[in-house]
Amino acid sequence: MSRERLSVVVTRRLPEAVETRMSELFDVRLREDDTPMTRAELVDAVKTADVLVPTLNDEIDASLIAQGSERLKLIANYGAGVDHIDVHTARQRGVLVSNTPGVLTDDTADMTMALILAVTRRIPEGLSVMQKSEWGGWAPTALLGGRIAGRRLGILGMGRIGQAVARRAAAFGMQIHYHNRRRLRPETEEELEATWWESLDQMVSRMDVISVNCPSTPSTFHLMNARRLKLMKPSSVIVNTSRGEVIDENALTRMIRASEIAGAGLDVYEHGINVNPRLRELPNVVLLPHMGSATLEGRIEMGEKVIINIKTFGDGHRPPDQVVPAML
Ligand code: DGY
């Protein structure tokens, strides 16, 4: 790269500290209002920038990448998941892609535990009683949930976040099981006291809680489809802090309504903000607006990762968090 400052376009408002640092380092165009860019704005961005900094709300597909000018060389995603970016096409056109792994692991794992507890201990129902001033005092049979200690947790996707969930859940006394494309090393399995299931079907049918922690890829689309959801025990619950596309949301909704699954805690949805309206009506379903990584610390660290990726690239090296198609 030349010694000139890189021209960087950021598609969304970022924490102030991150925007300030970017302005010091790059010729950066920041977003003024906190709304996603329109398609036309994205097209303009890829035509004019050396580096695009998108978020998971931006569809960086083949057609958008094809409209990029020769100078577009890096897509430095603000986030870990890259399912909204056509990494293959970017590579073919010589555009590098990087992401921000690692820094949102603990926050997302914390939120996974929060959802497991919220669903099994009926926290939103308790909150609602208090907010509506309906509390008549302690009662031996009021709002009884289930104890999580001793329950079997099946983690679907045992990467960084899955393992962080395992550590937390073990501290709560849960028994850890997992399904992952690749089995963990024996010493990691031993440390986590985790049992590997080669067959997802078999794991799903024996668990009390399923936690979805795998990325969204063509091979994980509807991994929890209607057939597999049917294998879950009627007393079991499912939580998802990864990507909505991994679960068939309509099938899940139908089954919870039919009491074939005991509940769900969801932070992500198959169709983004278009959440199945029936899900919202269910008392045993806890819905959050994709806030698994939403801590100020985490979001600043994500920004720092983006900056390091851009700077390293600008200095003529491979960005440390480069994503290559083989990783997906
Ligand atoms: C990511 O970075 O992909 C997360 O989903 C954001 O919370």
Tens place of pLDDT per residue across the chain (328 aa): 545 899 999 999 999 999 999 999 999 999 999 999 999 999 999 999 999 999 999 999 999 999 999 999 999 999 999 999 999 999 999 999 999 999 999 999 999 999 999 999 999 999 999 999 999 999 999 999 999 999 999 999 999 999 999 999 999 999 999 999 999 999 999 999 999 999 999 999 999 999 999 999 999 999 999 999 999 999 999 999 999 999 999 999 999 999 999 999 999 999 999 999 999 999 999 999 999 999 999 999 999 999 999 999 999 999 999 999 877 7
Cα–Cα–Cα angle for 68, 73, 77, rounded to 5 degrees: 90
How far, in Å, CA of 116 to CA of 110, rounded?
Answer: 10
CATH topology of domain 105-287: Rossmann fold (3.40.50)
Nearest CA among 13, 99, 106 for reference residue 60? 99
Residue with the two structure tokens 């998802």: 240
Distance CA 28, CA 78 (A): 15
Total H helices, total E strands in the chain: 13, 12
Predicted pLDDT at 328 = 76
Ligand 1 atom at minimum distance from 291 CA: 7
* Distance from residue 107's CA to the centre of ligand 1 (Å): 10
Q: What are the residues whose beta carbons fall under 8 Å from the beta carbon of 199, sequence distance 6 or more?
A: 179
pTM score of the predicted model: 0.96
Atom of ligand 1 nearest to the CA of 82: 3
* Residue 219 region by backbone torsions, left for phi larger than 0, else alpha for psi between -120 and 50, else beta: alpha
Compute the distance from residue 162 Cα to the ligand 1 centre, in Å: 14
Cα dihedral: 163, 297, 242, 144 (round 10): 80
Pocket of ligand 1 (CB under 6 A): 56, 79-81, 104, 292-293
**Looking at ligand 1, which atom is closest to the CA of residue 56?**
3
What is the Cα–Cα distance from 115 to 128, expressed in whole angstroms? 16
| Positions of E strands within 39-126 | 51-53, 74-76, 96-98
* Residue of 105, 108, 245, 295 best suited for mutating to test ligand 1, as the one with most atoms within 8 Å of CB: 108
Mutate to test the pocket of ligand 1, among 12, 53, 55, 56 (most ligand atoms within 8 A of CB): 56
The rounded distance, in Å, linking the Cα atoms of 304 and 296 is 12
CA of 321 to the centre of ligand 1 (A): 15
Closest atom of ligand 1 relative to the 77 alpha carbon: 2
Closest Cα to atom 2, ligand 1: which residue?
79
Per DSSP (E only), the strands in the chain are 7-10, 27-29, 51-53, 74-76, 96-98, 152-156, 175-179, 194-196, 209-212, 237-240, 263-266, 285-287
Atom 3 in ligand 1: residue holding the nearest Cα: 81
CATH of domain 7-103+295-327: 3.40.50.720
* Fold agreement (7-103+295-327, 105-287): yes
**Closest ligand 1 atom, CA of 78?**
2
Q: Which atom of ligand 1 is nearest to the CA of 302?
A: 2
Q: Say how many Å lie between the CA of residue 224 and the centre of ligand 1.
A: 20
Residue 204 CA to ligand 1 centre (angstroms): 25
Closest ligand 1 atom, residue 242 Cα: 5
For residue 293, the ligand 1 atom closest to its alpha carbon is 7
Spacing, Cα 75 to ligand 1 middle (Å) = 16
Domain ranges for the chain = 7-103+295-327, 105-287
> In this structure, which residue's CA is closest to atom 7 in ligand 1?
293
Q: Which of 55, 293, 295, 323 to mutate to test the pocket of ligand 1 (most atoms within 8 A of CB)?
A: 293
